[in-house]
Amino acid sequence: MKTDAAFWDGVAPKYGGQAISDEAAYELTLERSASYLAPEHRVLELGCGTGSTALRLAGHVREILGTDISPKMVEIARGRAAEAEAGNARFEALDVMAALDRAERPDVIMGHNIFHLIEDMPAAFPAIHDALPEGGLFISKTPCLKDVGALKRLAFGALIPLMRVFGKAPRHVSFVTSRALEAQVEAAGFEIIEALSAPTISRYIVARKRQAGMVAAPK
């Protein structure tokens, strides 16, 4: 079976040219994200793909570093940044955990359509928490494949392994509910300050790193 990087390298040329499936939902979440960003912010994006979101948000921040496991995605993102003359947007080929291990501390960490693809998703959130300063923001969007009805879930469950056999699906895809996802983010030490479903299957979450010693209030 292909490694994750090889799978996404293969997808990259097509991915860059694909239309966004729900333009209105994408614009809504971009607008929400922009409302949290400030000109002094240093942003780290995990699993940035071909850089579309990073480049749309670069004008709102001091600098943005987009990272992705696929060197091909990063190559396309770099080309787009050069074309857009976005001097404050950089791109590096790094796995999520390696990106979080860097010495530079970002003020904001973003990840869109990436966490369900990570084998150890629950481990990613504490690592993101560690990489942020107190009050730092974590902005994410994650398909919650367990939020759909039983029939659709069954179809996903059957289709994904089949697609994998033909090299059309990545090695790992997690099935979570938005509730379980939010619980994982909170358990990592974040306070969720905004959450919405856009499109319906995708949970958009904005969370703030709690101050040391602050415990989440029981629900």
Ligand X SMILES: C[S@@+](CC[C@H](N)C(=O)[O-])C[C@H]1O[C@@H](n2cnc3c(N)ncnc32)[C@H](O)[C@@H]1O
Pairing of strands 108-112, 137-143: parallel
- Residues 46 and 114: beta-carbon distance below 8 Å: yes
Nearer to ligand X, 14 or 219 (CB): 14
Nearer to ligand X, 48 or 57 (CB): 48
- Cβ at position 218, least distance to ligand X in Å: 33
- Residues 34 and 57: beta-carbon distance below 8 Å: yes
- Cβ at position 186, least distance to ligand X in Å: 23
Instruction: Provide the CB-side half-sphere exposure for 5 (13 A, CA).
Output: 11
Structure tokens, 169: 């699906």
Pairing of strands 202-209, 190-197: antiparallel
Sites of contact with ligand X (CB under 6 A):
4, 8, 46-49, 68-70, 73, 95-96, 112-114, 117-118
- Cβ at position 102, least distance to ligand X in Å: 13
Which residue number has the CB closest to ligand X? 49
Nearer to ligand X, 92 or 186 (CB): 92
Q: What are the C-alpha distances in Å from 178 to residues 75, 84, 101, 117, 144?
A: 32, 35, 27, 15, 6
Nearer to ligand X, 69 or 185 (CB): 69
The DSSP secondary structure of 138-201, one letter per residue, reads: EEEEEE-TTSS-HHHHHHHHHHHHHHHHTT-S-S------HHHHHHHHHHTTEEEEEEEESSTT
Nearer to ligand X, 69 or 218 (CB): 69
- Cβ at position 199, least distance to ligand X in Å: 12
- Cβ at position 212, least distance to ligand X in Å: 28
- Cβ at position 34, least distance to ligand X in Å: 16
Nearer to ligand X, 198 or 210 (CB): 198
CA 56 to chain centre: 15
